[in-house]
Structure 1
Amino acid sequence: MDSLAADRRPRKRNTANVQGEPMSKQHIYKLTAFPKDISLRDGTKITFRPMVAADEQELIAFFKRVPAEDRYYLKEDVTSPSVIKKWIQELDYDRALPILAWAGGRVVGDGTLHRTRASARRHVAEIRIIVDAIYRQKGLGTLLLHELAGVANANGIERVKIEAVAEKEDQAIKAAEYVGFVRVGLLPGHAKDMDGRLRDVVILEMPMGKWFEWWQF
């Protein structure tokens, strides 16, 4: 669950004010639960909250710490300040809701819930997650997934999906399956690794009813 991230698509409006705080929480998603403090398996304290404009520099620093091979599979150059600035300027929680994980004043994880405005697919969302290498194997990716799935479930989304590169993101696939995602498709050769070899992309999905039952067990 520690490298399920990709790009954010262009947004039409900015939902953060000049101080970097969200202008309103009355959008599609109910965000009154944030910021939220949690603890990892090893006791590390983490704070989850939506990304705001003031996070720009910390977000750049975070992505520079992510291993190059992990960044390679993302859809944008996340080490480019201009890319991050565009995300900040076009923040639109209704289209893409980024939840950042903070520890010790640094961003250590980024999870995003992506939802289209097209009526025919409004009931489906995609989750993308990436975690700082030193915070992996501690349950952070799974907790980010839980948080985003909870937001989806509370706001009428019926299904969530995840895409991961086979063999290169197997830990993420296993983590997703652990919390109830099932494989629903395979896209042969839809990614290339750093050596130019074709890799399959696995599509996993979970109905929100199944997610709710799993986490209430």
Structure 2
Amino acid sequence: MVELVSERAGASPTPSTASWSADLTTRDGYMFHVRPASPADEAALGAFFEHVDKEDLRFRFLSAIHNVGDDQLRALVTVDHDHTENFLAFDPATDRIVATAMLAADESLVRAEVALAIRTDFKRRGISWTLLDHVAAFARAKGIATLESIESRDNHQAIDLERERGWIASACPGDPASMMLRMTLSA
């Protein structure tokens, strides 16, 4: 599970982070807008998680939760923008959040963990693939060498997605119910 570094609660995106806002197009032609989260997104992110399947919530947070609480939401939107970033994907027709991708790097910015969630009614449009590529490009630009994802062994969709994107799967040390997936980023 992605751990949050939230040293500067309420920090605004830095200019270099803000430059990672973009309009993206999936392989299927679906277009969406992505940008870093800000504290003003807390209520919209809460509404987003109400439309994420309960099983997908379990996969995202690696625990059985029925809703994402206020403290969790606050942590997802008050990231430090240095070691932690949370990208939000918006549907241009409704301006609603359709996906989120959290990146949390270690102190040395060598390794980072990534975790994605998508609205149930927006699955199978290629958003996860495209968003994961965007996060990988962001991590590469920050000099991060390795991306990691801890997945429940039951989360076949995420494991297959990551493997298709070149990630290598291995056993998760100390947790037989999970898998560790890694991607080495080239410069």
TM-score, normalization by structure 2: 0.86
**2:179 aligned residue:** 202
**1:215 aligned residue:** none
Looking at structure 1, the residues matched to 87 and 177 of structure 2 have their Cα atoms a distance apart, in angstroms, of: 28
Among 106, 110, 117, the residue aligned to 2:100: 110
Q: Which runs of 5+ in 2 are unaligned?
A: none
1:184 aligns with 2:140: no
Secondary structure, aligned partner of 1:157: coil
| Residues 49-60 of structure 1 aligned to structure 2 (within 5 Å) | 49-60=35-46
Secondary structure, aligned partner of 2:48: helix
Q: Which runs of 5+ in 1 are unaligned?
A: 1-5, 17-21, 191-198, 213-217
Look up the equivalent residue of 2:121 and give its one-letter code. I
Given that residues 187 and 200 in structure 1 are in contact (C-alpha distance below 8 angstroms), is that contact kept between their aligned partners in structure 2? no
Post-superposition offset of 1:204? 0.9
| Residues 1-217 of structure 1 aligned to structure 2 (within 5 Å) | 6=1, 8-14=3-9, 16=11, 22=12, 24-25=14-15, 30-73=16-59, 74=61, 79-88=68-77, 90-103=78-91, 104-117=94-107, 119=108, 122-166=109-153, 168-187=154-173, 190=175, 200-209=177-186
Looking at structure 1, the residues matched to 166 and 20 of structure 2 have their Cα atoms a distance apart, in angstroms, of: 25
Corresponding pairs, count:
182
**1:193 aligned residue:** none
TM-score, normalization by structure 1: 0.75
Looking at structure 2, the residues matched to 56 and 48 of structure 1 have their Cα atoms a distance apart, in angstroms, of: 16
Q: Rg bigger for which structure?
A: 1
**1:194 aligned residue:** none
Looking at structure 2, the residues matched to 7 and 124 of structure 1 have their Cα atoms a distance apart, in angstroms, of: 12
Given that residues 13 and 81 in structure 2 are in contact (C-alpha distance below 8 angstroms), is that contact kept between their aligned partners in structure 1? no
Task: Give the share of equivalent positions with the same residue, in percent.
Answer: 23
Q: Where has structure 1 moved over 4 Å in runs of 4 or more?
A: 75-78
Given that residues 4 and 75 in structure 2 are in contact (C-alpha distance below 8 angstroms), is that contact kept between their aligned partners in structure 1? no
Deviations 1:145-167 (A, max 9, x none): 1011001111111111111111x
Look up the equivalent residue of 2:141 and give its one-letter code. A
